Structure 1
Amino acid sequence: MLVHNKGKYVRHAEEVMLVPGANQVESSDFERFSSHPLMKKLIDDGEIILQKRLKDMKPDDAIDLVKDTFSLAVLEEMKTVEKRKAVLEAIDSQAVVIQGKADESEE
């Protein structure tokens, strides 16, 4: 399942860690994580959000999530299920940002 940590900090509870941005988490792990009182509060406050599948999100929402994703593994997984051109382009652009590669035309 896709979990979005909208905060600026790594969140860790019940042996589950969420980095800022999108995280791929097993449902059983998220269940344990969300049972922790502090994490439950962060979920209730909207800092940690259980996301719909990327392909079920509106394009703009999906692109915003992609831009807040800092894991190449999560981005690669997103590419396997995504078909929309604009979202795929956002995934590729974010991968370039993460890898620190500048576009030759920008230099």
Structure 2
Amino acid sequence: MPAPDVTQTPMQRDRATTIFEKSVEGRRAATLPEAGVPETPLADLIPKGLLREDPTELPEIAEPEIVRHYNRISRRNFDLDSGFYPLGSCTMKHNPRLNERVAA
């Protein structure tokens, strides 16, 4: 992992990078083998009114980087297994994971 940029504030460094910012032209998540059947133009299969005029804007990114990206942003979510959440504690019953497993 590269060293953090010291010219940025902690808040700037903690900002979640979008998947589009990680996109690199020409990079693919997967390559598929030849299907072994003749290729049919989309215009022959889909009515012209339903076809896009411009290509879909999708990020070009490798599969491992996609997995790392979504794992990284999922860790930004809060849950009771990773932190303390005091709001409502006087009215809500806390059920530790161990008790839930024993009761099941």
| TM-score for both structures, normalised by structure 2 | 0.28
Which structure dedicates a bigger proportion of its chain to strand? Answer: 1
TM-score, scaled relative to structure 1? 0.28
Rg: which structure is higher? 2
Identify which of structures 1 and 2 has the higher relative contact order when contacts are C-alpha pairs closer than 8 Å and 6+ apart: 2
* More helix per residue: 1
